[in-house]
Amino acid sequence: MKLRALLFDLDGTLADTDRLHEQAWLEGLARYGIQGDHHFYQTQISGGLNPEIVARLLPQLSQAQGAAFLEQKEARFRELASEVQPLPGLKALWDWAQSQGLRQALVSNAPRENAHYLLKRLGLMFDPIVLSEDLPAGKPDPLPYQTALQHLNLAPQEALAFEDSPSGVRSAVGAGIPTVALTTGHPPEALAQAGAFLCIPDYTDPRLWDWLRALG
């Protein structure tokens, strides 16, 4: 089938923001006596849904307290992300996609305020924007990507997904979409095991462009 759309995750995929989320999470959890590190962040937080993470790691908090914790954490993230830049090669891929007439969708577990903040910082516009907080289930469930395909009226093999976490890869692959993984936050072995057919450090990787050119 002909490629008709590119579907992008946000954090760690459009920009290298994982380290900023890690800092914001670990600072917040430290106030509750949880001393996490990079491995803790990767295995317990990265790629997850915020309410589920808080319920699991801070079960003593009420719903209102958990919401306040997340609001503070995300405000700290936006503060840290004030100078964020797109991953190398993203603009070239964006321009190529537009020259080919490809649709471009955002599919993310990010909170709405973060998503709009980062897209404004990066100067990117997507249609559609699918956020897990609007759906009954988020990544790693395939529903977010299935929803994007429905909006685009496309079959899975007409799209290509870009992700950066095993959770996100499982979501896209679970929807039947071929998936490229960015190794900004997780080792390529974990991403490949989740189902990514190609793992790249950024969008300048010649293997990505060889694959795109091979499509004709």
- How many angstroms separate the CA atoms of 19 and 92, rounded? 24
184 confidence band (pLDDT: 50, 70, 90): very high
- Given 9, 16, 141, 205, which residue is catalytic? 9
Quick one: pLDDT at residue 47? 77
In this predicted model, what pLDDT tens digit does every residue of 94-133 receive, in sequence order? 999 999 999 999 999 999 999 999 999 999 999 999 999 9
To the query of whether residue 18 is one of the catalytic residues in this protein, the response is: no
Tell me the C-alpha to C-alpha distance, in Å, between residue 111 and each of 39, 107, 197: 23, 11, 28
Question: For 147-179, how does the pLDDT look when each residue is reduced to its tens digit (9 = 90+)?
Answer: 999 999 999 999 999 999 999 999 999 999 999
Are 5-16+84-214 and 18-80 equal in CATH topology?
no
CATH number attached to the domain at 5-16+84-214: 3.40.50.1000
* Alpha carbon separation from 88 to 32, 164, 203 (Å, rounded): 37, 15, 6
Active site residue 16: no
Which spans in 12-162 are helix H? 18-30, 38-44, 50-57, 63-80, 90-99, 112-122, 143-152
**Coil vs helix vs strand at 84:** coil
Q: Which of 11, 18, 141, 205 is catalytic?
A: 11
Quote the CA–CA distance of 48 and 51 in Å, as a whole number: 9
Q: Sorting pLDDT into bands at 50, 70 and 90, what band is 185? A: confident
Q: Does domain 18-80 have CATH number 1.10.8?
A: no
User: Which pLDDT band holds residue 216 (cuts at 50, 70, 90)?
Assistant: low
The pLDDT assigned to 49 comes to: 83
What is the structure's pLDDT at 27?
95
Residue-range domain boundaries for the chain: 5-16+84-214, 18-80
Q: Assess contact for 12 and 164: CB atoms under 8 A.
A: yes
The answer to whether 81 and 194 have CB atoms below 8 angstroms apart is no
Are 161 and 138 in contact, with CB atoms under 8 Å apart? no
Based on C-alpha coordinates, what's the Rg of the chain? 17
15-65 pLDDT tens trace? 999 899 899 999 999 999 999 999 999 889 987 888 899 999 999 999 999
Question: What is the arrangement of strands in the sheet containing 179-182, beginning at the earlier edge strand?
Answer: 129-131, 103-108, 5-8, 159-163, 179-182, 198-200
Residue 144 has pLDDT above 90, yes or no: yes
